[in-house]
Amino acid sequence: MTRKAALSRAQFEERFFGVLRWFVIAFLAVITVLPFYYMVLLSVKPIDALLLDPGSLWVSAKDFTVSTYRDVLRSTDSGGQGFVKFLLNSALVSLGTVLLTLLAAVPGAYAISRLKFFGHRQVSALFLAVYMFPATLLAVPLFVIFAKMGLSSSLVGLAIVYVAQTVPVSIYMLRNYLVTIPYSIEEAAAIDGCTRLQTVRKVILPLALPSIMATGLYVFMIAWNEFLFALLFLAAEPGKWTVSLGLAQLSNGIEVPKTILMAGSVVLTIPVVLLFFAAERLLTEGLTSGADKS
């Protein structure tokens, strides 16, 4: 009797969770994909069509338009929103950040993973402590220092702040990869007469390339998406706005139609999403490596 009851409970649960699983999967698919579908949808609609029927989830052939994109990309002189300029600014800051971050993080990660130097135990904890402090706490003095140095509205200043924000996580990601490279390879190089620098450049760098690329992509995404420091440093100068900042500033007003701004969000989102899909495996492994062996 009890045996039968237990079995039926097991069977019931098996069936119940079998069905529930598909509901959960469908729900997850809807909540993650729908907002992005909605974003693209509104970006190819004229504003009248949106106001007329806010609930429609498709666009009719006669309403379909790409003029929103033309409007958002055109320079402000010719009546657009000047997003091309913003894109350029964002690209400059992000690429600069990636370059500088990797320049600092690759040697740093190598040292932390391989070399026993004074304080090598404390240093990674110190770097990770960066994330303990609220960005707003840094924002106050950085705002003042940069105002003093005349860097307060420059893209260079912004890139420096981003480097400091991304170097610790880059070191963490790179280090996780570097520890998997066998030490004997380096010893072989040393025996062949390589100096430390040569070993890093000719042996470690090529081997760690996948991880370096993943880290670079991740840094690019952080820099491209960043908002607070861009707002603090660049808000007063529309010519230097990044895409994120430009979109946020324009969406506060009511002059620009929402559908045009939606085109702006698509333009802002596409680079990161493309990069992400190009390197999804690399990235997820780079981020979570170490999580599975706790």
Partner 1 sequence: MTTAPPGAPQRRATSPRSTDRPAHRRGRPMTASRRANRAGLAFVSPTFLVVLVVVILPILWTVLLAFQDAKLVDIQGMGLFGNWSLDNFAQIFGSAGFWSSLGTTLIYTAGATAGSVVLGLIAALALRKPFRGRGLLRAAMLLPYVAPVVAVAFVWEVALSPQYGVVNDWGRRLFGWDDPIAFLSTREYEVSLLGMHFDIPLALLTVIAFECWRYFPFAFLFILARLQAVPHGLEEAALVDGATHTQRFRYVLLPQLMPVIALLCVLRFILTFNKFDDVYLLTGGGAGTDIAAVRVYDFLTARYDVGAAAAQALVLAVSLMILLGFYFKFFGNKVQEES
Q: Which is nearer to partner 1, 48 or 75 (CB)?
A: 48
* Residue from 58, 121, 133, 150 in contact with partner 1 (CB under 8 A): 133
Any contact of residue 93 with partner 1 (CB under 8 A)? no
Any contact of residue 201 with partner 1 (CB under 8 A)? no
* Residue from 116, 125, 254, 255 in contact with partner 1 (CB under 8 A): 116
* Residue from 143, 154, 179, 194 in contact with partner 1 (CB under 8 A): 143
Stretch that binds partner 1, among 59-67, 91-99, 167-175, 201-209 (CB under 8 A): 167-175
Distance of CA 274 to CAs 7, 86, 205, Å? 49, 19, 25
Shortest Å, Cβ 137 to partner 1: 4
CA atoms within 13 A on the CB side of 237: 14
Contacts 24+ apart (CB under 8 A), 180-188: 181/207, 181/208, 183/114, 186/114
Q: How far apart are CA 74 and CA 78, in angstroms?
A: 7
Q: Which is nearer to partner 1, 84 or 269 (CB)?
A: 269
Any contact of residue 125 with partner 1 (CB under 8 A)? no
Stretch that binds partner 1, among 64-72, 172-180, 205-213, 270-278 (CB under 8 A): 270-278
Q: Is 153 exposed, middle or buried (0-12, 13-18, 19+ CB in 10 A)?
A: middle
Q: Which is nearer to partner 1, 84 or 164 (CB)?
A: 164
* Residue from 69, 83, 110, 241 in contact with partner 1 (CB under 8 A): 110
Any contact of residue 30 with partner 1 (CB under 8 A)? no
Please name the helix (run of DSSP H) or strand (run of DSSP E) that holds residue 282, with its range, or none: helix 280-288
Shortest Å, Cβ 9 to partner 1: 6
Distance of CA 71 to CAs 39, 46, 81, 172, 256, Å? 17, 12, 6, 42, 10
Any contact of residue 214 with partner 1 (CB under 8 A)? no
Angle 258-278/83-114 helices, nearest 10 degrees? 30
Interface positions, 41-60, toward partner 1 (CB under 8 A): 42, 50-51, 53-55, 57
Cα–Cα nearest to 128, from 180, 167, 175: 167
Any contact of residue 202 with partner 1 (CB under 8 A)? no
Any alpha helices (H) in 44-134, and if so which ranges? 47-52, 67-73, 83-114, 120-128
Interface positions, 236-265, toward partner 1 (CB under 8 A): 243-245, 247-248, 251, 258, 261-262, 265
